[in-house]
Amino acid sequence: MPVKYLKETPSQTAGPYVHIGTCPSAAGLNVRTQEKPNVLAAAGTAERIRIEGVVLDGSGTPVHDGMLEIWQADTKGKYNAKGFTGWGRAVADFKTGEWAFETVKPGATPYRDGRQQAPHVTLLVFARGINIHLHTRMYFPEDEAAHATDPVLAAVPPDQRHTLIARREKRGGETVYRLDIHLQGDKETVFFDF
């Protein structure tokens, strides 16, 4: 008999009411109303950026009951840096499905073997109809040279890499990165199993 381990507790969908436990004021509860979990960097922070998008199902319909989490390094490429939690969550708008984070662009981080990974953020998607959260990444379009040597992008089939790379635009004074996440279909986003 092989060595035995405990089995992981199985996942179940976060369901349509995920907001009650994770972003209660979005559900309409009059509690923790001051919390803004999608703001990792306060207004006025130098180099603040916006990351936004919509999650689309296999019919192209926006997922308007989902919740996303972000996990990222600070501008120097450090996780759990002092003064920057690097974690946040955003609620998809109940009508449009639009979600957004206000944050800073992370620096490059090391791959397991010490090579550099291009700057990126981790995104998790939770929603009704998603039995176990989906794990993806967003990369920044201006880092083309770093993408060419990124060990994770190298493992992604070339014709699918674009699903992980945001579009960039200036809006007001702010740099906005947009990444639509396609759960299914021709434009299906690459999802990871780390």
Partner 1 sequence: MTEYMRRDRRWHPPGYAPGYKSTILRSPRRALLSLEQSVGETSGPVFGHSTITDSDRDLIANYSTGGEAIGERIIVHGQVLDENARPVPNALLEIWQANAGGRYRHVKDGYVAALDPNFGGCGRCMTDENGYYSFRTIKPGPYPWRNDGSDWRPAHIHLSIFGAAFTQRLITQFYFEGDPLIPLCPIVNTIADPAAIDMLVARLDMGNTVPFDCLTWRWDIVLRGRRSTFFENRPEGN
Helix (H) or strand (E) holding 20, with range, is helix 18-22
Least distance to partner 1 from the beta carbon of 55, Å? Answer: 9
Longest dimension (CA), the chain: 63
Residue 21 main-chain phi, psi, to 5 deg: -90, -20
CA distance 87 to 136: 15
Q: How far is the CB of 101 from partner 1 (least distance, A)?
A: 14
CB of 65 to partner 1, least distance (A): 7
Nearer to partner 1, 149 or 171 (CB): 149
Task: Check residue 109 for interaction with partner 1 (CB under 8 A).
Answer: yes
Site string for partner 1, 149-188 (x = CB under 8 A): ---x--xx--------------------------xxx--x
Among 2, 114, 158, 172, binds partner 1 (CB under 8 A): 114
Q: Within 2-41, which residues bind partner 1 (CB under 8 A)?
A: 5-22, 24, 27-31
Token digits of residue 30: 């009059």
Give the count of residues interacting with partner 1 (CB under 8 A).
Answer: 72
Q: Which of residues 41-60 bind partner 1 (CB under 8 A)?
A: 57-59
Non-local CB neighbours of 65 within 8 Å, separated by 6+ positions? 16, 18, 92, 94, 127, 128
Nearest to 120, CA basis, from 67, 81, 165: 165
**Using the rule CB under 8 A, is 83 a contact of partner 1?**
no
Compare residues 4 and 170 and give the one whose CB is closer to partner 1.
4
Residue 45: C-alpha distances to residues 39, 69, 115, 172 (Å): 11, 21, 30, 15
